């Protein structure tokens, strides 16, 4: 049975797949910080707060005609979670198809996602999880 933290994380990603901003914000803390692998400035942006979440998702939705994610098996350590994220997308302008797997290290506060850090490889993400 999934923990409350895992359930919240999965609900946020399911809302993202529906492009449901209210659903995304309902599961994220007002102080959320996201360091994504994908975005307008790949690997360079940190998006902060609900305004940042809106900016990040608007960037993604503008770039990708189709963009869907699947959360894999979650490893949980207290208020931190590590999980693979399967991505499928098609570029809005280029039509280029994307099928990839990345890893997200998330932190929870007050039952909400307060941090998501993206990694292209599992080992650095695992080291981040174990560092706490």
Fold of 4-130: Nuclear Transport Factor 2; Chain: A, (3.10.450)
Q: Which residue has the higher pLDDT, 7 or 36?
A: 7
Mean pLDDT of 97-117: 97
For residue 56, the model assigns a pLDDT of 87
Residue 93 has pLDDT above 60, yes or no: yes
Residues contacting residue 22 through CB under 8 Å, at least 6 positions apart: 15
Residue 41 has pLDDT above 50, yes or no: no
Q: Which residue has the higher pLDDT, 71 or 1?
A: 71
* Kind and range of the H or E run holding 42: none
Task: Return the percentage of the chain with pLDDT > 70, whole number.
Answer: 94
Which residues are bridge partners to 124 per DSSP?
none
pLDDT in tens, 109-129: 999 999 999 999 999 999 999
The answer to whether 52 and 113 have CB atoms below 8 angstroms apart is no
């Amino acid at each position: 049975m999934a923990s409350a933290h895992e359930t919240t994380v999965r609900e946020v990603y399911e809302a993202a797949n529906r492009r449901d901003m209210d659903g995304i914000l309902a599961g994220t803390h007002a102080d959320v910080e996201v360091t994504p692998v994908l975005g307008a400035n790949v690997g360079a942006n940190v998006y902060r707060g609900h305004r940042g979440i809106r900016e990040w998702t608007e960037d993604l939705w503008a770039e990708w005609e189709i963009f869907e994610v699947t959360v894999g098996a979650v490893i949980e350590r207290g208020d931190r979670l590590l999980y693979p994220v399967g991505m499928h997308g098609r570029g809005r302008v280029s039509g280029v198809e994307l099928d990839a797997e990345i890893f997200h290290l998330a932190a929870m506060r007050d039952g909400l996602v307060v941090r998501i850090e993206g990694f292209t490889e599992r080992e650095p993400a695992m080291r981040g999880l174990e560092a706490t």
